[in-house]
Amino acid sequence: MDVGFCELQTEPRLKISRPWLLPFFFKFMNEYLKFDIEMIVSLLIVLSIIIGIANNRMNSIGVRILNRWARWVCVSVGLAFFVHQMDWAARPFWTLAIIFFLCWLLLETLYTWLAINAMSQSALALFPRFRNNSTGEEWPAQRKMIELRDWLKAKNFNKRQALVAELGGGITLRSSIYQNENGSIRTQILFLPRPNGTINHCVSFTSETSENERLITDNLNTPYGGFYPGNWNVSRKPWTRSPEKLLKHHLKRIQELELEEYEIDPVDDINRQQGVLERINIEAGFLVPPHLQDEMGRITWEGRYRVWKEVWLLNYFGIAGKG
């Protein structure tokens, strides 16, 4: 990509007409901050605790992101206040807060990178294969899940199959596949277990055109980091938790397109696509070739960086990668 050069113009600096006011300004700020620092830290701690409790009880990407930012700021300000009160550093309070803010960034980056490396070396399935779920355990008994199932029924989506996949380490991924009346749209509901014992769910709408283009619209809020095949057109909307809005977005994308009717069984289609994704990511350099994975791990260094970047974008901004 060619990068053009643009002429830089230096704007005149802001001139302070009364420089003798600066010492009084800094003196006032120091006295004000000394008076209110303890109150600010206390409020931040209480706010962080409240947001953390709400995050454990709600399935909201907004609350989850707010909880991460609140924890980051609270730790930074709290440690800065403690060091400042103990006179362990001859630095202003806000300078210490910025230092601890950057230290938290470094520590969480290191933790995320180690977690990705551990995943690369583990037996956790990156592209799991599904099978028919014959246990009867499908939809969790939660109010939002029941509302989603009723919504699918109201929109004339008929159930096709219930699927399950073993990710490894005792982690099971369950899924339900629905299809609209004319067979042009398939809906996949993924049930994702969370560390606190609750179940998160994501919705995906898929259609295929007569020119073999695959259009996918989903609200997955888990990092992917890999590549998609060239005939895939993926739109990820992690902030769109409403299935109604997500479906409208998908319908807008497929309008005026000539769609093919789905005839292949969902389990066969999904497993075939998982195989395609795995092959594409080996060819694109995201995955290590199978004969080298025991020695080098399954994800290349470039792939680990892509996963790390998407983890950060999702955790703190709710932005999904383009693939």
Q: List CB contacts of 223: < 8 A, sequence separation 6 or more.
A: 307, 310, 311, 314, 321
pLDDT tens-digit series, residues 265-305: 999 999 999 999 999 999 999 999 999 998 899 999 999 99
Q: Is residue 9 scored above 80 in pLDDT?
A: no
SS3 260: coil
Angle at which helix 61-85 crosses helix 22-57, to 10 degrees, equals 130
Q: List CB contacts of 88: < 8 A, sequence separation 6 or more.
A: none
pTM over 0.75? The answer is yes
d(CA 210, CA 12): 60
pLDDT tens-digit series, residues 153-172: 999 999 999 999 988 777 88
- Give the residue from 97, 86, 119, 102 showing the smallest Cα distance to 224: 119
pLDDT confidence tier of residue 34, bands split at 50, 70 and 90: low
Residues in the chain: 323
Q: What is the mean pLDDT of the chain?
A: 84
Average pLDDT, stretch 57-62?
79
d(CA 157, CA 148): 11
Long-range contacts for 202-211 (Cβ within 8 Å, ≥24 apart)?
203/148, 203/243, 203/246, 205/246, 205/247, 205/250, 207/250, 207/254, 207/257, 207/259, 208/259, 208/260, 208/262, 209/254, 209/257, 209/258, 209/259, 209/260, 210/258, 210/259, 210/260, 211/258
Query: According to the model, what pLDDT value does residue 186 have?
Result: 96
**Strands 214-218, 199-208: pairing kind:** antiparallel
Q: List CB contacts of 97: < 8 A, sequence separation 6 or more.
A: 76, 77, 80
Query: According to the model, what pLDDT value does residue 33 have?
Result: 52
Q: Can you say whether the dihedral through the CA atoms of 276, 278, 280, 283 is positive or negative?
A: negative
- How many alpha carbons lie under 13 Å from residue 26 in its C-beta half-sphere? 5
Average pLDDT, stretch 84-109?
88
